[in-house]
Structure 1
Amino acid sequence: MLHEKIAEYTQEINQFVAQSHEDVEAFRLKYLVTKGAVRNLFEAFKSVSPDQKRVLGKSLNDLKQTAEQKYKILQAQFSSGMEARKRDEDDLTLPGEGFVVGSRHPLSLVRKEIVEIFKKLGFSVAEGPEIEDDWHNFTALNFPPEHPARDMQDTFFIKKQDGNDIALRTHTSSVQVRMMENGQPPFRAIMPGRVYRNEAISARAHCFFHQVEGLYVDEDVSFADLKQTLYYFVQELFGEDTKVRFRPSYFPFTEPSAEMDISCTICKGKGCALCKGTGWVEILGCGMVDPNVLENCGIDASKYSGFAFGMGIERITNLKYEIKDLRLFSENDVRFLSQFETELI
């Protein structure tokens, strides 16, 4: 019986083929550990008759040596394979690992689209500082000293410098002032950028947001030019079926002034929470540049006229992508941002 087991294990060991490091470990556990098959045969060898021990002892020692030699061969085989894989891992010539492609922020997408539309009409892009003095942010734009926009409740004032209030700009109209001060008409430019207002953060308002303002100053510029420019802009951005209406309004730096509404893109004019049931959504303010503003900037108001407009990029983005909460734009939630991964322009 013991002789048959020795022959059986010898055949198994010689025919054993490992496919992985785990197979090599399984071989060791079956044949070579303290309670393995070979050691169990040695325990059984103690009870055989003395006349059989000489023959069976040699066969049993041969089995043990065969198992140990087989285990060493298997170890060498798979340790060399692991070293080869390690060398492959360190091979800098191998192709790199793939990575997830990101996307542009929805505000960046809409800003780019707005800029491209106005570029078709000959508008250039102008930028200016986000920290402004009182002259460029208020006085040159015809804001009277008692205007509520100058209050601490509406503006982030930083300090006084040479008797001037220094504040975070509340609109990009200050860029218009700098452009008119440092050049001569004609001017045709848009001013995109971040602005700051001291407002409570909610789904509909934030203490910082993004604007695009526009300015066109030349001889014989009329309100009709303003309307046609904005009609074109709306049709390019929202589609030709979008309805537009102008309502009289007031801004210190334009006269006459108006607010422009478009038919709600979410309910298609039927009435919803975004448009408060009216079917209309206000998207921008506009008007003819007040002559006082032109004169403040050293431009002859008797010769030149112009129009200006300004819109919040967040409001436009709300309508374009049907986003109802402004706070999503600044929370960096990957679940929200990943929805725009196909919008790589």
Structure 2
Amino acid sequence: MMKKHSQGFSLVEVMVGLAIGMLGMIVVMQVLSLTQASNRTTTSGADAQQVGALALYSLERDVRQAGFGFNVPGFLGCELKGFDKNRGEAFDFTFTPVVITQIGADEPDIVEINYGSSAKLAVPTNLTQSMSDTTSTYRVANRFGFTVGDILVGAESGKKCGISQVTGLPAAPDSNAIVHASVASGRYNPAGGLSPAADYTYSTNGKLYNIGPNPVSNVYTVTDRGLEVLSNFTGEIQLVAEGVVDMQADYGVDTNNDNAVDTYLTDPDTNGDGTITDVEWGKVLSIRLGIVARSRNREAGCDATTTLPSWVGGTFNAVEKDSDWQCYRYRVFETTSVLRNMVWRPL
């Protein structure tokens, strides 16, 4: 009787099995690698998409309100000065709905948006008595809509516009008086009455604007952190959206007085004399905005982007300030926002 011997795999069979297994692992790893790369690309694009959408929404929300209380012809473009006692600092901005500051072709623009918050009539009233000094009580033709705490803007041709705050509304026989005393409740009333004191005393040719208790003057800038907004009234800086690397803007200008935008310009000085007048500011009826957001993750191949992002207003040249700009993915967002308060402004 013959003995049966148990037989296993030969060395060749084992080696062939190992080779097949290793090939299988390589295929699986390659598939996983491609999947992860695809996921990174998708995630990077989605990240930039969210950042850009948030930034544009924040800007549009302010632009829709721009000009409320600032839109009455006569003093648009006036240099507006104020003093905040809480932070002990003077501040200034332009008395107009939107100001675009062009730093240069390779730099992001700066966009300043201004509007009031008065719940009542946002129309200026005439001064009926000249101020003897900067602490003098305002005497006005109509005090309707003014309440304690409201922020005021004094304006007169040939003079700077001055910010103050209502601290008292006397009863008869002083029912036309508006007090702006330097007391605790008058945050924007410095000791001199108006700041700087030498710039202001308004006569009966002047007007007084009521821009409400919580007016807004927001300055949007692009920094290393992303899109930031500075409040001129409080001095606070907030990060709006991280990852925004450029912002460009143009004015929509009505050149033929038909209350419709005819062209887009980087400067509303349409006659080119170097001064933007009240009439020229009044022709700005919209702004065109373009922003570009960058993905958070750097692509290994540094070939994610080969051409600079662009929009209807041109190329986002600030993107290439970073030497590795081609290693990232970008999303461009653009919109045209009508300045409704300028279209509906009183004539």
Which structure features the higher share of strand residues?
2
Q: Which has the larger radius of gyration?
A: 1
Question: Relative CO higher for 1 or 2, CA cutoff 8 Å, sep ≥ 6?
Answer: 2
Q: Same fold per TM (> 0.5)? A: no
Which structure features the higher share of helix residues?
1
How does the TM-score come out when normalised to structure 1? 0.29
How does the TM-score come out when normalised to structure 2? 0.29
